[in-house]
Amino acid sequence: MIEVDNLHKSFGESHVLKGISSKFEKGKTNLIIGQSGSGKTVFLKCLLGLFSPDKGSISYDGKIYSELSASEQRNLRQEMGMVFQGSALFDSMTVQGNVMFPLGMFTKQSKSEMQDRVDFVLKRVNLVDAHNKFPSEISGGMQKRVAIARAIVMNPKYLFCDEPNSGLDPKTAILIDNLIHEITQEYDITTVINTHDMNSVMEIGEKIIFLKNGLKEWEGSNKEIFKTENEAVTDFVYSSELFKKVRQMYIEERN
Amino acid sequence: MKTLILKEIDELVYGSMGIIIFISFFIGGVVSIQTALNITNPLIPRNLIGFATRQSVILEFAPTFTSIIMAGKVGSYITSSIGTMRVTEQIDALEIMGVNSLNYLVFPKIIAMLFYPFVIAIAMYVGIFGGWTAGVFGGFSSSADFVEGLQLDFIPFHVTYSFIKSIVFALIIATIPSFHGYYMKGGALEVGKASTTAFVWTSVVIIIVNYILTQLLLG
């Protein structure tokens, strides 16, 4: 479980996070949503330890990050997996090289053990014929799947995803969402996803946090978000015509 | 780490051999021709062509001129490769995995560039060979005169001085572009700007350090 308490972060005069508190439970897909500029990415980077908060604390299963020594922080980071918006695969390495990279850096496994693990995770993300291809030779959806494979190859306790289905067609986006959801439940991982894709919210949002201007505006599940009366949330959720129609149907049905 | 260092030696040192050999050969040739064309007084011996070529190539053209070329070729490669990794969040990915990204990306380059004096040694040899080729086959000097000039008043410390300079220049070529790539911010356009800035600063620092080292070692 990840617990965030009164998180503040500023860049110069700009106060980006203004005291966010929340809990992200194990085995659940937790979604952070909000408009561009609401502080989602800064919040996620604070969770990842890439930004140090100005005030407040983040604890991972009881261990407060800021109180850990540099080596303990490094060890904790090895328990984290991250799927970046642009996949962030290493261009100079093949798919297999990318997935094997953390194993080679942090484990003392033999070459054959590493190969077995890489084969297993690539099969898990439904990529069986791409071992020797370079990131530039595969599609965006495949790159995302390689990024997921790389993120889970070390059996992480925490999985973070920054807009995992941006730039993907709706069908592939749903496949990626479902894959992350399945992996979260299968390996009992604490997953935090940064997104503004409402399809993801509907599909896998077991817990949703809505950020607005650096504050937590609303918190709930994908079932609750369509019933909320919070104006900021409804403005965001029903900004697309499709969802406006869905809401209209919901209201008519209720009446 | 061993694999990374070998890869960087291949990319930065071995991969630069072609251009270094090409430039050194023709620069040596031009120095030889220019010296020959400027000897108008019949009292000046023809072995001056070999002597001047040797001194110019060993003291300045091989270590300094080659390093300026390398600042452009290797330096911009280092800045753009690290900068692209920054822009595409590959450095963030390394950090999140718990890898010390600065050490992982820069240290192998510094170690690889310690092999740079070998490149300079080859540049010296090829430069002098280019001078001999141009001098002899251009009809400016006989082979015997040229070789005599090469051996005239040879001071071995000049080669040591040249290698000392090349080691210092190697560290400059590895570190300044790495700094500009690692700490860059922005997108693809900024990668290009960072490469240009890195080349300018590397060249400026090489020129200044060259002056200081020459004053310290030969002055």
CA angle A251, A254, A255 (to 5 degrees): 85
Closest A-chain CA to B92: A50
Nearest-CB residue to B95 (from A50, A89, A91): A50
Higher pLDDT, A200 or B123: B123
Look at A90 and B98 and tell me if their CB atoms are within 8 Å: no
A132 within some domain: yes
A6 within some domain: yes
SS3 percent helix, strand, coil of chain B, rounded to 5, is 85, 0, 15
Interacting residues of B101 by C-beta distance below 8 A, sequence separation 6+: B91, B94, B95, B182
Distance CA B35, CA B49 (A): 6
Distance CA B172, CA B160 (A): 19
Cβ neighbours around B93 below 10 Å, total = 25
The counts of H helices and E strands in chain B are 11, 0
Look at B97 and A48 and tell me if their CB atoms are within 8 Å: no
**ipTM for the assembly:** 0.78
Residue A41 confidence (pLDDT):
87
B-interface mutation test, from A75, A84, A150, A162, most B Cβ less than 10 A away: A84
A163 within some domain: yes
Please count the residues of chain A.
255
Closest by CA to A230, choosing from A208, A249, A246, is: A208
* Residue A15 pLDDT level (bands cut at 50, 70, 90): confident
Look at B97 and A106 and tell me if their CB atoms are within 8 Å: yes
pLDDT digits (tens, 9 = 90+) for A53-96: 888 888 988 888 888 888 888 888 888 888 888 888 998 899 99
| Chain-centre distance for alpha carbon B118 | 10
Nearest-CB residue to A48 (from B88, B96, B100): B96
Query: In which element (H, E) is residue B93 found?
Result: helix B90-97
Domain that holds residue A122: 2-222
Distance CA B184, CA A158 (A): 29
Distance CA B48, CA B63 (A): 22
Which bin fits B186, alpha (ψ -120 to 50), beta or left (φ > 0)?
Answer: left
Q: Which two tokens stand for residue A76?
A: 């904790």
Strands A63-64 and A80-83, by their bridges, are unpaired
A88 within some domain: yes
Residue B132 confidence (pLDDT):
95
Q: What integer is the mean pLDDT of A196-208?
A: 81
A35 within some domain: yes
Considering Cα of A219, then A222, then A227, then A232, what sign does the dihedral take? Answer: positive
Cβ neighbours around A70 below 10 Å, total = 8
Diameter of chain A by CA atoms?
Answer: 65
A230 within some domain: no
Distance CA A42, CA B92 (A): 13
Q: Is B174 exposed, middle or buried (0-12, 13-18, 19+ CB in 10 A)?
A: buried
Distance CA A12, CA A130 (A): 45
Look at A49 and B90 and tell me if their CB atoms are within 8 Å: no
Query: In which element (H, E) is residue A212 found?
Result: strand A207-212
**Which residue type sits at A99?**
V
> What is the distance between the terminal CA atoms of chain B, rounded to a whole angstrom?
41
Which residues of B are less than 8 Å from A77 in CB distance?
A: 95-98
Residue A249 confidence (pLDDT):
77
A50 inside 8 A of chain B by CB = yes
Contact A30, A77 (CB under 8 A): no
Look at A49 and B93 and tell me if their CB atoms are within 8 Å: no
Distance CA A55, CA B67 (A): 48
pLDDT digits (tens, 9 = 90+) for A89-135: 998 899 999 999 988 888 888 889 999 999 988 888 888 888 889 99
Q: What one-character-per-residue DSSP string does B53-67 give?
A: HHHHIIIIIIIIIHH
pLDDT at position A16 over 80: yes
Distance CA A48, CA B95 (A): 9
Residue A132 sits in a domain whose CATH number is: 3.40.50.300
Q: What one-character-per-residue DSSP string does B117-168 give?
A: HHHHHHHHHHHHHHHHHHHHHTTSS-HHHHHHHHHTT--THHHHHHHHHHHH
Contact A222, A201 (CB under 8 A): yes
Which residues of A are less than 8 Å from B93 in CB distance?
A: 82, 84, 88, 90
Residue B30 confidence (pLDDT):
94
A69 within some domain: yes
pLDDT at position A168 over 80: no
A75 inside 8 A of chain B by CB = yes
pLDDT at position A241 over 80: no
Nearest-CB residue to B93 (from A75, A78, A88): A88
Contact B74, B116 (CB under 8 A): no
A251 within some domain: no
| Chain-centre distance for alpha carbon A107 | 24
Which residues of A are less than 8 Å from B97 in CB distance?
A: 77-78, 101-102, 105-106
Distance CA A106, CA B94 (A): 12
Our count of domains for chain A comes to: 1
Q: Per-residue pLDDT for chain B (219 aa), expressed as one digit of tens each? A: 788 899 989 988 899 999 999 999 999 999 999 999 988 888 888 888 999 999 999 999 999 999 999 999 999 999 999 999 999 889 988 888 888 889 999 999 999 999 999 999 999 999 999 999 999 998 888 999 999 999 998 899 999 999 999 999 999 999 999 999 999 988 888 999 999 999 999 999 999 999 999 999 988
**In this complex, how many residue pairs, one in chain A and one in chain B, have their CB atoms less than 8 Å apart?**
44
